[in-house]
Structure formats: C-alpha cells, structure tokens
C-alpha cells in the first residue's frame, strides 16, 4: 500500500457543508468576478473592491482559525474556493491566497504575540501579506539564497534582494528568508536559514518593479530589496536556523492550493470547449458532431477528473497533518494537475481553432496561466524530488 497505510487513506472527506460553501463561492464568482475578467486581463491588475468583496463574504479567512478572526475551515474549503475561482480567473486565486504563504508559517511556527498581531487583519482582508524566499540567484535551491541577516543592536540586520514575490506590491507584511549562519557542511546546506517578519514601512525595505510574466495577468510578482533592514528579535518565526524547514512546510500546504488552481483552470477550459463545440458550425454541422472533437472533450474530462480526485484526496490527507504520506499526496497532486492543465489548455485552443489563439477569445490565457502553475511552489522536478525524499523516509527510514 506504500505510501498509504490502509484503504481508508483513500477517502475524500467532503460533506454537505462543503457543497453549500462551493455554491456560495460560485455565486461570488458569477456575480462579481466573472464580469471583470476581461478588465483584469487587459489592465493586468485586480481591482481592490473585488478583494474587499471577497473579504466581506468571509472568503479571505479560509484556513485561519476562528480565534484569529478566520473562518476556521479545513483545507478542503481552501481547495474548493481555489477551484471555483480559478475556473474563471486563476490570477484572482493567486492574489487572494498568497497571504497563506505568510499566515501558514506564522500560525504553525510563530509566537502567540505574532499570531495575534498579524493574522486577524489578514483574515478580514484589511491587510495583505507576501512571502519572500526566491532571489535572482536561487529559486528551487532554497539553501542557495544570498540574503544575510546578522545580529545587531538587540535585533537583526537584513541585507539582500528577493525576486518574483507575489503580492509584494500590496503587502503590508512579509516573511523573508535569510541566512543567519554558515551551513555546517555541504550536505547540510539547508541549515542556518531563518525566517523573519518584516513590516512594510520598515526603513530599508523597498518593493521594486513588477516582473511581467507570461500568465496570471492581474497577479504579477515584484522585486523586493532589503538594504540594512533592522528587525527586533521577536520578528523571528520559529527558531533561529529553522527557516528552511519552515519554508518547506509552508509549500507542502500550499501545493494542494496550486493543484486546485490547475483543476479550476481545467474546468474553465472544459466548459468553454463544450459550449463552443455545440455552437460552432463547420461543414454545415456543429463541430461537436466530429468524432475528433468528441475525443478531445472526453480526454479533457479524463484529465480534469483524475486531477480533481487526486487534489481533494491530498487536501483530505493534509487536513490530518503534515505526514510523509500527506506531503507525497500534495506533491503528486501538484505534479499531475499542473501538467494536465497545460495539456487541457492546449486542447482547448485546438478545439477553438483561430478563436483559441485570439487574445480576446479568453481561451489562450489559460495556457499562459498553466505555465506559471507548473513553476511556482516548486517545479515538476522539485515535486519529484520531494516525493522521493518522503517515500524513502517512509518506506526505508532513510534521509535523502
């Protein structure tokens, strides 16, 4: 059964409440988000009032315990929200959920004072947050970051540059990963990193230019510069030197979200393809009457449904804790769903013919979006490495 313990590990634990919630998100999407998608694409920005509306309905407090102002919901709710929103606008999901990359480490590893100070305003949508690990010289290789923090005057002085930081433009709070001591050996390069909370407005912190990427228009990451940024000792998240583990645990949760985003994308393309192929006439008949189009539709449904099952299964396991099998499930889901999202998006273009590549046709954007999903929160290679690491530990008790 590796990596599972029993057949019960295959359960997807959705309930009536999850379905009621899904309908609530669908209403928000239909009423407020869908009418603005073309505008988001053309202006490359997400209107603040849409985020405010989502906050009002309680959609920004998902996954945050009630005692910190959130909805107290399990990870399946986050997956459902992400899928429903990404069906029409994956960028909105990124922009509204990126604060999870801040709230997860603070909730899991932060102090009570940090949780009380930073989490409630994020849950209500009053404030925004970002997660700054990646640098121009290091992405997958987290241990290769060059940002340094040294102890100075009762706190830490941070210097470095971060790159590709989603939501940095509107973030009030950042978690920043920096090296605080040299690694003890080449094999243990991951040791000696520390995660800090840095507030916007701290002298020396500057959000630079946006980096224009091919997809997810509306959610474009930025550069962040840290030039002699001083933060007090109580800005450290978790223990000094544990930053690598904290960052990786954060991504283990986040990956299910990206899988759900890819599932939503596939659902969006699938619905468009169905609609288009009954309406579009070629050779005096709707194109859906051609068997080649029907085969495309069925293959898309196969990819979509397999990814959805894997994603909801991973979300169910993650709800029960960050065990090796849950991490394997999360990485499998991210790997499968993002690769299939690319294939589905590409088929979507084929079925739409010329309209598929027309910028205003609203089909090609899904292919662009799928490219980002394949990369952020760990490329396919990093998912494979993660799966192997946890598999070896689980089966043989060996650390890779």
Ligand X SMILES: Cc1cc2nc3c(=O)[nH]c(=O)nc-3n(C[C@H](O)[C@H](O)[C@H](O)COP(=O)(O)OP(=O)(O)OC[C@H]3O[C@@H](n4cnc5c(N)ncnc54)[C@H](O)[C@@H]3O)c2cc1C
What are the residue numbers of the active site?
377
How many CB atoms sit inside 10 A of residue 74's CB?
A: 19
- Among 86, 133, 267, 307, contact with ligand X (rule: CB under 6 A): 133
What is the C-alpha to C-alpha distance for residues 91 and 216, in angstroms, rounded to an integer? 5
Closest CA to 14 of 60, 70, 74: 74
User: Does residue 139 touch ligand X according to CB under 6 A?
Assistant: yes
User: Does residue 166 touch ligand X according to CB under 6 A?
Assistant: yes
User: Does residue 86 touch ligand X according to CB under 6 A?
Assistant: no
- Per the DSSP assignment, residues forming a β-bridge with 151 are 156
What is the C-alpha to C-alpha distance for residues 178 and 355, in angstroms, rounded to an integer? 47
Phi, psi of 61 (to 5 degrees): -100, 15
C-beta of 213 vs 392, nearer to ligand X: 213
User: Does residue 132 touch ligand X according to CB under 6 A?
Assistant: yes
What is the C-alpha to C-alpha distance for residues 395 and 5, in angstroms, rounded to an integer? 11
- Among 164, 196, 312, 313, contact with ligand X (rule: CB under 6 A): 164
What is the C-alpha to C-alpha distance for residues 120 and 139, in angstroms, rounded to an integer? 30
User: Does residue 90 touch ligand X according to CB under 6 A?
Assistant: no
Span interacting with ligand X, options 72-80, 296-304, 373-381, 388-396, rule CB under 6 A: 373-381
- Among 90, 160, 221, 348, contact with ligand X (rule: CB under 6 A): 221
Shortest distance (Å) from residue 48 CB to ligand X: 19
- Among 29, 50, 330, 372, contact with ligand X (rule: CB under 6 A): 372
- Among 4, 57, 375, 392, contact with ligand X (rule: CB under 6 A): 375
Name the CA radius of gyration of the chain, rounded: 21
Span interacting with ligand X, options 50-58, 262-270, 314-322, 378-386, rule CB under 6 A: 378-386
What is the C-alpha to C-alpha distance for residues 172 and 129, in angstroms, rounded to an integer? 6
Burial of 270 (0-12, 13-18, 19+ CB in 10 A): buried
C-beta of 213 vs 274, nearer to ligand X: 213
Shortest distance (Å) from residue 100 CB to ligand X: 11
Q: At what angle do helices 364-375 and 243-279 cross, to 10 degrees?
A: 160
User: Does residue 21 touch ligand X according to CB under 6 A?
Assistant: no
- Among 63, 378, 386, 391, contact with ligand X (rule: CB under 6 A): 378
Shortest distance (Å) from residue 182 CB to ligand X: 21
User: Does residue 140 touch ligand X according to CB under 6 A?
Assistant: yes
Q: Which residue is nearest to ligand X (CB)?
A: 139
C-beta of 131 vs 334, nearer to ligand X: 131
CA 327 from chain centre, in angstroms, equals 15
Shortest distance (Å) from residue 247 CB to ligand X: 8
List the interface residues with ligand X, window 94-123 (CB under 6 A). 98
CA dihedral 297, 303, 305, 308 (to 10 degrees): -140
How many CB atoms sit inside 10 A of residue 113's CB?
A: 9
User: Does residue 386 touch ligand X according to CB under 6 A?
Assistant: no
DSSP string for 291-338: HHHHHHHHHHHHHHHHHHHHHHHHHHHHHT---HHHHHHHHHHHHHHH
The 199-218 site mask, x for binding ligand X (CB under 6 A), equals --------------x--x--
- Per the DSSP assignment, residues forming a β-bridge with 199 are 173
Residues binding ligand X (CB under 6 A): 98, 130-134, 139-141, 164-166, 213, 216, 221, 372, 375-379, 381-382
């Amino acid at each position: 059964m590796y990596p599972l313990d029993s057949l019960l590990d295959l359960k997807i634990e959705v309930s009536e409440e999850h379905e009621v919630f899904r309908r609530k998100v669908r209403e928000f999407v239909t009423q407020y988000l869908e009418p603005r998608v073309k505008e988001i694409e053309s202006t490359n920005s997400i209107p603040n009032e849409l985020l405010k509306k989502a906050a009002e309905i309680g959609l920004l407090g998902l996954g945050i315990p009630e005692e910190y102002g959130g909805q107290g919901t399990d990870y399946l709710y986050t997956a459902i929200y992400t899928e429903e929103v990404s069906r029409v606008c994956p960028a909105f999901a990124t922009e509204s959920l990126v604060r999870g990359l801040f709230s997860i480490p603070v909730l899991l590893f932060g102090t009570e004072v940090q949780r009380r100070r930073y989490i409630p305003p994020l849950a209500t949508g009053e404030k925004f947050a970002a997660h700054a690990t990646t640098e121009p010289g290091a992405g997958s290789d987290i241990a290769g970051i060059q940002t340094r923090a040294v102890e100075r005057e009762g706190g830490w002085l941070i210097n470095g540059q971060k790159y590709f930081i989603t939501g940095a433009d509107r973030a009030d709070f950042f978690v920043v990963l920096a090296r605080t001591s040299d690694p003890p050996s080449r094999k243990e390069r991951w040791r000696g990193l520390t995660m800090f909370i840095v507030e916007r407005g701290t002298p020396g912190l500057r959000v630079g230019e946006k980096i224009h990427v091919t997809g997810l228009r509306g959610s474009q990451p930025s550069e962040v510069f840290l030039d002699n940024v001083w933060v007090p000792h109580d800005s450290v998240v978790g223990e000094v030197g544990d930053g690598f583990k904290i960052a990786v645990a954060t991504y283990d949760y986040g990956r299910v979200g990206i899988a759900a985003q890819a599932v939503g994308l596939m659902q969006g393309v699938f619905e468009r393809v169905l609609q288009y192929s009954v309406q579009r006439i070629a050779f005096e008949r709707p194109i859906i009457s051609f068997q080649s189009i029907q085969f495309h539709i069925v293959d898309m449904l196969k990819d979509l449904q397999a990814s959805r099952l894997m994603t909801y299964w991973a979300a169910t396991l993650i709800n029960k804790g960050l065990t090796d099998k849950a991490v394997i499930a999360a990485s499998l889901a991210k790997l499968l769903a993002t690769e299939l999202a690319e294939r589905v998006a590409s088929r979507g273009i084929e079925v739409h013919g010329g309209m598929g590549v027309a910028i205003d046709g609203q089909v090609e954007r899904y292919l662009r979006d799928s490219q980002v999903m394949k990369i952020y929160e760990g490329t396919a290679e990093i998912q494979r490495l993660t799966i192997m690491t946890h598999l070896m530990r689980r089966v043989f008790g060996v650390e890779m």
